[in-house]
Amino acid sequence: MSVIDKAKDEKLGHLVAPTSIIRFYRMIPDTPTPQRADRSAGGLIPTRAFRYCEPMTTASAFGWYIFPPMDFSVYWDGNDMYWRYADMDSWFPLEASQYPDYAPTFNDIAPQDIKGYSPPFISSAPEPGVLKIWSGLIAKTAKDWSILVRRPANLPGSQLYEHYEGIVETDHWFGPLFTNLRITKTDSPITIKREMPLMQVQPLHRSTYDEKILKDFEFIDGAENFDDEDWLNYHQTVIAPGDAHKRERGLYAKASRKNRKRHP
């Protein structure tokens, strides 16, 4: 009996939620293990920001770094995309390419009716200069949780390409974890390094981007419409701690940490 027939017979096919908020499955053996994102953005944010800027360090640490399974380079001449890897001297036209030697490995372990369906590692999209790169992973999240796939937060970006961001509902979609890049400069080789994060994935509860939530917001037009509570909050936040020369450094960070302890 094939895996598809077995699933139908046993009424399988739904995703069983992981016990943690997210579970990563490594398919390409060379893919580095996902890493918890770093508050210091790999030591690249300014020291003063690391010590005192809680918003920046919190954003940097939100989620996990995902790395590419190998070093490779791409090249776009404005019309066609090319790539190469390892010690290759020549550039190869890119439409959709498997990870080197992975397809036979996949076929050896996949059920009979899934053989031949290993995901492409890298492919060019129909849109000019757009590139899709597979991380070698699949992600599964707990019920009603999704992931935001984006460029690594607060890490220096390349001037040669940009990340597209996307939200994937990985509690019911079990497929390759990939990112899309838009090449912004032609005739310049772009090298992607295995030791540098290719993307950052961040957990989002589905309610946070529900249209009912997002369209329900309030807008106060002008400080003359502040009420007494608004003015009191402004005073406690901006004036009571003292001016920029007198206020304690890292005041917001201390307040945020104290608030997290009160409301874990």
Radius of gyration of the chain (CA): 23
Residue 106, pLDDT score: 97
Q: What CATH number corresponds to the domain at position 31?
A: 2.70.40.10
* Stronger pLDDT, 114 or 256, i.e. the higher one: 114
Whether 80 and 167 share a structural domain = yes
Residue 250 tokens, joined? 């890292």
Whether 190 and 231 share a structural domain = no
Cα 72 to chain centroid distance, Å, stands at: 20
pLDDT, mean of residues 192-211: 96
Residue 239, pLDDT score: 79
Beta-carbon count within 10 A of 252 CB: 15
* Start-to-end Cα distance in the chain: 49
Residue 54, pLDDT score: 84
Among residues 212, 233, 252, which one ends one of the domains? 212
DSSP states along 71-123: -EEEEE-SS-EEEEETT--S-EE-SEEPPTTHHHHHHHHS-GGGTT-PPPSEE
3-state helix, strand, coil in the chain (%, to 5): 25, 25, 50
Whether 123 and 242 share a structural domain = no
User: What does the pLDDT look like over 88-123, one tens digit per residue?
Assistant: 989 999 999 999 999 999 999 999 999 999 999 999
Whether 44 and 68 share a structural domain = yes
Least confident of 158-172, 183-197, 250-264: 250-264
Give the predicted TM-score (pTM) of the model. 0.86
Residue 48, pLDDT score: 79
Number of folded domains that form the chain: 2
Whether 148 and 255 share a structural domain = no
Whether 207 and 165 share a structural domain = yes
Q: Domain containing 250: what range?
A: 219-262
**Cβ neighbours of residue 160 under 8 Å, at least 6 residues apart?**
183, 184, 185, 188, 190
**Measured between alpha carbons, how far is 86 from 208 in angstroms, rounded to an integer?**
42
